[in-house]
Amino acid sequence: MSDHPWSTGTSFAEALAGAAKLTDAALDRLIAVPQGLEARVFEAMRYAALAPGKRLRPFLVLASARLFGVSERGALQVAAAIELVHSYSLVHDDLPAMDDSDLRRGRPTCHKAFDEATAVLAGDGLLTLAFEVLAHPDTHGDAAVRCELVSTLAQAAGASGMVGGQMIDLIAENRSLDIGAITRLQRLKTGALIAFACESGAILAKASTEVRSALRGYAHDLGLAFQIADDLLDVEGSAGETGKPVGQDVAAGKATFVSILGVERARNQAELLVRQAVAHLDLFEKRADLLRQAARFVIDRRT
Ligand code: GRG
């Protein structure tokens, strides 16, 4: 795909930065502030979505689309949509009713910079905008493909996916979960959205079920590795590195992969998951090199 932000030989860091730049430009265009008193909710949406995040999910969308040579315009719409959903989840997760966090992406959280009610509305606005973006003809010329993207993202983000995972996470504050239950929680809370990102290129390309299931297998292992790395950062990282408070899981007495397995075994498990994730990509040969590097990145990252 010649118009993608990277070509053969581009390093992973350059590709991630390129994807972030394109995603930010798309978000900037999609969240335009109108005239009128409602402008405040758009300002809060921009504050949350354009804050400096890694843009890993948009990267995965673009890398997945690249496997099939689909157009950049459509892939970018999907990349922006998933970042809108992710940003909404962070805004709501930080609210006093949930994690009650003051710091996100190195800045005051949305409800601190604005106010709680505005942050609730900003999250709602981001979530609904994501589906407006997917339903737009710019996303794909075929309405059936747009419909499938809408339906697949809705399942990943909703009560059978991320929202369900967040519900279990809240319950876990007062109940000790075993490793199986924690794995399921994280598959829903973090893994479902990552799985959508990885599969989206195949949906845009109307690819075969064999190819889609390979990408889902990759995403499944990648999502768990990502979460173990997140748990390790909560124990070993600093707020300066991660841009969010650390030590929260331990303080809340929450069961995590690290609290159950210990640091050493958790790290070994993450390594194993990365090897498993990469093995799912064999059928794509060299075309999947950036996805292979992404798997390494999720466990080596410090943010
Ligand atoms: C409120 C419905 C609802 C869901 C919230 C995603 C989530 C569910 C909560 C975020 C809290 C958290 C620390 C989850 C663990 C993994 C995760 C999603 C981390 C944040 O994602 P990154 O590291 O963040 O990709 P950036 O800022 O780089 O985009």
Predicted confidence (pLDDT) per residue in 64-110, tens digit: 999 999 999 999 999 999 999 999 999 999 999 999 999 999 999 99
Q: What is the distance between the alpha carbons of residues 77 and 254, in angstroms, rounded to a whole number? A: 36
Q: What is the distance between the alpha carbons of residues 147 and 158, in angstroms, rounded to a whole number? A: 16
Q: What is the distance between the alpha carbons of residues 119 and 250, in angstroms, rounded to a whole number? A: 27
CA-based nearest residue to 62, from 29, 21, 90: 21
pLDDT score, position 249? 77
Q: Ligand 1 center to residue 36 CA distance, Å?
A: 32
pLDDT score, position 7? 56
Q: Give percent above pLDDT 90 in the chain.
A: 84
What confidence tier does 173 reach under pLDDT thresholds 50, 70, 90? confident
Q: What is the distance between the alpha carbons of residues 226 and 122, in angstroms, rounded to a whole number? A: 26
Q: What is the mean pLDDT of residues 46-74?
A: 96
Residue 175 has pLDDT above 90, yes or no: no
Q: Does ligand 1 come within 6 angstroms of the Cβ of 53?
A: yes
The residue nearest atom 14 of ligand 1, judged by CA position, is 190
pLDDT tens-digit readout, 202-238? 999 999 999 999 999 999 999 999 999 999 999 887 7
Q: Ligand 1 center to residue 278 CA distance, Å?
A: 23
Q: Does ligand 1 come within 6 angstroms of the Cβ of 54?
A: yes
pLDDT tens-digit readout, 280-302? 999 999 999 999 999 999 999 87
Q: Does ligand 1 come within 6 angstroms of the Cβ of 60?
A: no
* Structural fold of domain 12-300: Farnesyl Diphosphate Synthase (1.10.600)
Q: Ligand 1 center to residue 170 CA distance, Å?
A: 14
For ligand 1, pick from 93, 124, 244 the residue to mutate: most ligand atoms within 8 Å of CB: 93
R_g (Cα) of the chain, nearest Å: 18
Q: Ligand 1 center to residue 264 CA distance, Å?
A: 24
Domain boundary assignment for the chain: 12-300
pLDDT score, position 216? 96
Residue 199 has pLDDT above 50, yes or no: yes
Calculate the average pLDDT of the chain. 93
For ligand 1, pick from 183, 189, 232 the residue to mutate: most ligand atoms within 8 Å of CB: 189
pLDDT score, position 2? 45
Q: Does ligand 1 come within 6 angstroms of the Cβ of 242?
A: no
Q: Does ligand 1 come within 6 angstroms of the Cβ of 104?
A: no
Q: Which long-range contacts (CB under 8 A, 24 or more apart) does 120-123 make?
A: 120/92, 120/95, 121/41, 121/44, 122/41, 122/44, 122/45, 122/47, 122/48, 122/88, 122/91, 123/48, 123/88, 123/89, 123/91, 123/92
